[in-house]
Structure 1
Amino acid sequence: MEKSEGRQSRKKVVAVVGGGLVGALNACFFAKRGFNVHVFESREDIRKAKIVKGRSINLALSHRGRQALKHVGMEDKIISKGIPMHARMIHSLSGKQSPIPYGRKGQYILSVDRANLNKELLSDAETYPNTTLNFEHKLQDWSADTGLMTFSRSDGSKDQIHADLIVGCDGAFSATRKQFLRRSRFNYSQTYIPHGYMELTMPPVNGEFAMKPNYLHIWPRNTFMMIALPNLDKTFTCTLFMPFEDFEKITTGDEVIQFFQSYFPDMIPLIGVEALKKDYFRLPAQAMVSVKCSPYHIGDKCVLMGDAAHAVVPFYGQGMNAGFEDCIVFDELMEQFNEDFRAVLPEYTRVRVPDDHAIADLAMYNYVEMRAHVNSKWFLFRKHVDNVLHFFLPKTIIPLYTMVTFTRIPYHHAVERWHWQNKVINYGLLLSAVGAVLGGSYLLTKHSQQVNKLAVPAEKMWTRLVSFRIPGMMTTQM
């Protein structure tokens, strides 16, 4: 089906600031509705760049993101360029590998390359005749009253545009959001966690993956961890998450190898001694920030989406998925309110802020789970209990990870339900334990009584034996 400009009567101008993942996808959503869409990106066109600058942590695409891609006809194309991961593969210090499935059979998350996904989305946005992509345009200022925007270009010149709607998708350090900070009653918080990340590459072995490819591999070491995601070129992108102070203790190549021998000995032959030394010092450990703010809109003129509204740490694999869900939630509200920005924008803030704050908190929690809890027998037991209950009561008990990753249950509803389920399950386990103790005590008591009944005749018989007298003999005193 050939793409059209949608509702041709609509000629409002939508300016999307940021040509990253969420910005490019948003361009597709707005273009599909028939708006005149202008995308402004401060960097060069990554489709033409020799070196792609920016973050490169592999992404885990799941249900929420896939639904947004499906809405603009991109799901199948992206899936074909990703690698399914059906479970976590836990690597112990001894080298033992233990899988923990993500969900039911057939459920998986998809390892996708950030740069390739961004290129595909930009190319798709460009196929709409009502979309214009502007690269090397940096936002300087904009007016919430008039919609006038000023951009500086790489050659020093400036461009101006009037927009009916400004959509800020320009990342955690958003230039669009700066205008929000100048206004009263805007809440904003920014938190850097004390851990950084560093990426290493595990090359193929004889042209094939060095490890099983359909897993998200994790080396949990309590206060830090390593993960590895598969790539289409048969490499693994390995990411070490660790406190900055621990990164700073390692200053030489020999110390790198000593560190890996102590905590990740199975990785040394797979990456290679020299490659480890080189990769470790290629770039310093990078910081991770969590951003929360509210509201997400100003009047009917501007709205924030993606990391500009809610940057999250990467430990739940939901940063991109939450950003993509922003797009589809906004589009659903556009449909509900007949594209009336005055109604759509405040409703978007009301609906989305609790969800995005919830996933930000969950991402923080999941880091502890990934690096430490997966080593706990209690965690594994509870995981098994949750899965068994979900199998028999699929609509009543749903594991948190399943709600977050394989449904579109609003994030904050998933958290509320998770807390309720935990109370119910823990209470049930407690009652079961108390019941088992009481039942065991009853059986022991009953058994003791039976033993005592048998013991009484035996005691009487012994008494008779020792008191038995043969005529003419002396009685033995005992």
Structure 2
Amino acid sequence: MRDNQMARSEERGGIAIVGAGPVGAIAAMYLAPRFGPVTVLERRADPRRGGGRRGRSITVMLSTRGWRALSELGLDAAVRAICLPIHGRCAHLPDGRSHVSPYSRDWRPIWSVERARLHCLLLDAAEATPGVKILFEQRVREVDPDVPAVEVENGDGSTRMAYSRVLGCDGAHSVVRAALVTRGAQAVVRRLELAHQEIDVPGGWLDPSTMHYWPTGDALFAAFPLPSGNFAGSLFLRHEGPAPSYAVVESGQDLLEMFVSRFGKPAAAIPDLADQLSVKSIGTIMTVSCDRWVWRDKLALLGDACHAMAPFMGHGMNCGFEDVRTLVDRLDSTQNWAAALAAYEKIRIEDAHAISYLSYQHYHHMANPPAESIAHAEELRNRLIALFPDRFVPLYERCAFTEESYAAVLKDDRRLDSLVEDLLSRHGAELVSASNSRLRACVSAAGIASLGEC
């Protein structure tokens, strides 16, 4: 360990969770009743006392996977009281048309919640759980996976503390993951080409039951409803490259002109847009992929520490909560940490890769108004889903309203894409408007095996 001679050494025992974000708090609440003392180490100040993290999106989404964890912990009613149901997304296209896509075929909602309010609620609940202790302003500088032990730096100096287990819930720049890399793990941490600014949007001119977005191909503006009646807006541009990008539109005036030219209606509805664009920080989007999540029976990664993803499917937090549930389920069934950690890693890695891929691809789907060929494929896909509702389920619906494997959902969706491509190549775009009986016949002629695989 760094500066071992200067660091005090303590034997704490119990479980250490590095990171007191939502996933860390959920993990502490699951583990303490089962395994005794849990110490949560957080490098930032307590957000309930003005120490909240800047630069994060204002809202996060809760769907079935997230609600399962909250329900098991008895927090679902309290959380739902601060949430807002959102039933679909509305695309405001450049030609003036708008189109609403429901999140599910029966219009079930996902739930929008302000990140800061949810985080504070979870911290309160974690601290109220017997055996959980949260320590803020504790910077974990280094982790030894073999002991396991952590070196923590705070206002009193540096301390090396040994625990029975260490769990990394410390986000995209995880110190715990860095320790796993020293033991041979391969990790890829990437900054996406996209940057974003959070823009406050007044209510009263948009339907508050849907999320709204304005695609232009080279820029995207999205607005998420808030319980206050207002909206949390997000502007997405490239960091660099030709206009529009933050590297090109450097001055506030240039950025304002770009926004007005591409997003006229939102621009007209936001009275202080110029001021917000000039002072709001520009955030980056980091992604993480890691081929190893555990070390023996000593250490594991959860949430963004092992699979930080683009935010466009709204599943980062839900996936992190599902990580915790999966790990705890394995522990409950095996009563053996080494076996449980190995099973957890095997179960979750492929799913994490799948939802991370889907989340990034969803940005391109939302940001680009559909070309004619893409529009034909999307319309035919929707007709197949309507005509064979038991066989074809929309991808987003399966991700948001089931607990099916993300990897299985992605594989099935690719098979449906192949079927759509095959049908269009055989019969042309006119099949999109064909009668139901003809479409059924064409699907049958494409081969029962193809249909069965989907």
Aligned letter for 1:125? A
Deviation digits for residues 178-207 of structure 1 (CA, Å, limit 9, x no counterpart): 2112122x1111222212111111124xxx
Q: TM-score, normalised by structure 1?
A: 0.82
- Residue 47 of structure 1 aligns to a residue whose secondary structure is helix
Larger Rg: 1
Compared CA separation, residues 69 and 258, structure 1 to 2 (3 A)? same
Query: In the alignment, is residue 176 of structure 1 matched against residue 176 of structure 2?
Result: yes
Deviation at 1:218, TM superposition (A): 0.6
Q: 2:352 aligns with which of 339, 349, 356?
A: 356
The aligned residue for residue 466 of structure 1 is: none
Task: Tell me, yes or no, if the aligned pair for 1:56 and 1:115 is still in contact at 8 Å.
Answer: no
Unaligned runs of 5+ in 2: 1-11, 435-454
2:265 is the counterpart of 1:301:
no
Instruction: Report if the CA contact (8 A) 2:172-2:304 is conserved.
Output: yes
In structure 1, what is the equivalent of residue 417 of structure 2? 422
How far apart are the structure 1 equivalents of 2:186 and 2:219? 32
Q: Tell me which residue corresponds to 2:75.
A: 74
CA contact (8 A) 2:13 2:162 kept: no
Counterpart contact for 2:143–2:175, Cα < 8 Å: no
Q: 2:309 aligns with which of 308, 312, 319?
A: 312
1:365-400 deviation per Cα after TM superposition (whole angstroms, max 9, x unaligned):
111101015x34554554454444434534421222
Paired residues of 2:85 and 2:112 also in contact (CA < 8 A): yes
Residue range with higher mean Cα deviation, 280-289 or 115-124: 280-289
Contact 1:12 1:35 in 2 (8 A): no
Q: Which runs of 5+ in 1 are unaligned?
A: 1-10, 440-478
Query: What does the per-residue CA deviation read over 1:17-73, in whole Å, with 9 as the maximum and x for residues that have no partner?
Result: 100011011111112324211111111111121665351342121121111212211
Deviation at 1:349, TM superposition (A): 1.1
The residue correspondences of 1:48-87 to structure 2 (distance < 5 A) are 48-49=49-50, 52-87=53-88
The residue number in structure 1 matching 2:366 is 370
Asked if 2 retains the 8 angstrom alpha-carbon contact of 1:34 and 1:130, the reply is: no
Closer, same or farther in 2 for the Cα pair 1:25/1:380, shift >3 Å? farther
Alignment map for 1:146-157 (pairs within 5 Å): 146-153=147-154, 155-157=155-157
Say whether 1:117 aligns with 2:118.
yes
- Does the alignment pair 1:92 with 2:93? yes
Q: How many Å apart are 1:109 and its aligned residue?
A: 1.6
- TM-score normalised by the chain length of structure 2: 0.86
Which position in structure 2 is the counterpart of 1:35? 36
Aligned-pair CA distance for 1:264: 0.7
Q: 2:234 aligns with which of 214, 239, 244?
A: 239
Moved more, 160-169 or 249-258: 249-258
Alignment-derived partner of residue 329 in structure 1: 326
Q: Secondary structure at the match of 1:396?
A: coil
Counterparts of residues 183-262 of structure 1 (less than 5 Å):
183-184=183-184, 186-204=185-203, 209-245=204-240, 246-262=245-261
The aligned counterpart of 2:262 is 263
Query: Could you report, residue by residue, the CA deviation over 1:101-140 in whole angstroms, capped at 9, with x for unpaired residues?
Result: 1212232221111111111111111111111111111112
Q: Aligned partner of 1:370: which letter? A: M
Amino acid corresponding to residue 404 of structure 1 in structure 2: C
- State the 4+ residue runs in structure 1 displaced beyond 6 angstroms: none
- CA–CA distance in structure 2, aligned partners of residues 311 and 242 of structure 1: 20
Q: Note if 1:398 corresponds to 2:381.
A: no
Q: In 2 relative to 1, CA 171–51 (structure 1 residues): closer, same or farther, beyond 3 Å?
A: closer
TM superposition shift of 1:435: 10
Q: Once the 2 structures are TM-superposed, how far is the Cα of residue 93 of structure 1 from its aligned partner?
A: 2.8
Alignment partner, residue 446 of structure 1: none
Q: What is the Cα-based RMSD across aligned positions, in Å?
A: 2.4
